[in-house]
Amino acid sequence: MDDCSIAARTEKLRHEIALIQQEEHRYHSHKNHSLAERAEHAKRESRIRAIREELRTLVEKAKEQSNHGTVWYS
């Protein structure tokens, strides 16, 4: 994965997080939730955890590529 694709994927994931956070704000703005709403909330929480893990992986890949480039050209 090159730097451009890492950056593009990171941006896409951050955008997805922003959308999920909007949904979560709507969810938390009222008190009574149906079973379906609670299930969707749980799915969003799970997706946020998965996105954060993927972002950590992308950061590590970017660091590895950066370090490799530094070593390669020095």
Tens of pLDDT along 14-54?
A: 999 999 999 999 999 998 999 999 999 999 999 999 999 99
Answering whether pTM is above 0.75, one says yes
Question: Residue 68: what pLDDT?
Answer: 67
Question: Residue 69: what pLDDT?
Answer: 61
Look up the domain containing 57 and give its range: 3-73
Between residues 72 and 26, the one the model is more confident about: 26
**In the chain, how many domains are there?**
1
Residue owning tokens 């969003």: 44
Distance CA 58, CA 65 (A): 10
Q: 17 with 51: CB under 8 angstroms? A: yes
Question: Residue 66: what pLDDT?
Answer: 77
Question: Residue 62: what pLDDT?
Answer: 85
Burial pattern 17-50, b for ≥16 Cβ within 10 A else e, equals: eeebeeeeeeeeeeeeeeeeeeeeeeebeeeeee
